[in-house]
């Protein structure tokens, strides 16, 4: 998959006009594993970039006497080395959950749906990062409330985009049900982790 001269970035923007159609177009291209890996690396790099405005804003507003170099290096290592492993694990889990509900397509389609969904989410991540840096500078209850609202919007965007991509990749009729199932699964996992953390 070549990102130069292939219309990759315009495809991300036009995907918002039809999420399932964009996923179908990507599936029809049938990229190899190296293409999926390139897609994942692009998405992870955007995630890393999305941390930078908030990191700068936090350091300037709370720790102006400390260098942010250590934070940048740490986030780069975490995002570019550990996030891809996590993404492969999430794709694997989504494949088996979808299979339990009758999906017959391959595990590769689940990976493609997740990685393309992350790429499509990239403009949202960048916009959220820029706004977060502003609200961190504002501070106080107002800034905190705006940050919480941004996190909720981001979560809804993830559910909407990934749900549509996975529904198309796994040939489910309702993308909203897929998004709902993703929400239930992750909410259950977070609840179990929280309960486990509270257990003495």
pTM of the model: 0.86
> Measured at the alpha carbon of residue 115, what is the angle toward residues 111 and 119, in degrees to the nearest 5?
165
Give me the pLDDT at residue 83, please: 93
Structure tokens at 139: 């501070």
Alpha-carbon gap, residue 121 to 118, rounded angstroms: 5
Give me the pLDDT at residue 2, please: 44
Structure tokens at 45: 């790099």
Query: What stretches in the chain show pLDDT beneath 50?
Result: 1-5, 61, 64-65
């Amino acid at each position: 998959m070549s990102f130069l001269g292939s219309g990759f970035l315009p495809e991300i923007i036009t995907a918002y006009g039809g999420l399932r159609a964009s996923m179908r177009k990507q599936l029809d291209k049938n990229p190899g594993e190296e293409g999926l890996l390139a897609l994942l690396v692009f998405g992870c790099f955007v995630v890393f970039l999305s941390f930078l405005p908030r990191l700068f804003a936090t350091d300037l507003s709370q720790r102006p006497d400390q260098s942010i170099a250590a934070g940048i290096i740490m986030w780069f290592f975490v995002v570019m080395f550990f996030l891809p492993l996590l993404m492969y694990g999430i794709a694997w889990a989504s494949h088996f959950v979808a299979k339990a509900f009758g999906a017959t397509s391959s595990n590769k389609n689940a990976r493609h749906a997740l990685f393309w969904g992350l790429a499509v989410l990239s403009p949202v991540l960048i916009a959220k990062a820029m706004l977060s840096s502003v609200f961190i500078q504002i501070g106080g209850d107002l800034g905190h409330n705006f940050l919480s609202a941004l996190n909720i919007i981001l979560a809804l965007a993830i559910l909407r985009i990934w749900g549509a991509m996975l529904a198309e990749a796994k040939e489910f009729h309702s993308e909203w049900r897929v998004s709902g199932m993703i929400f239930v699964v992750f909410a259950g996992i977070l609840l179990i982790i929280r309960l486990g953390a509270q257990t003495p």
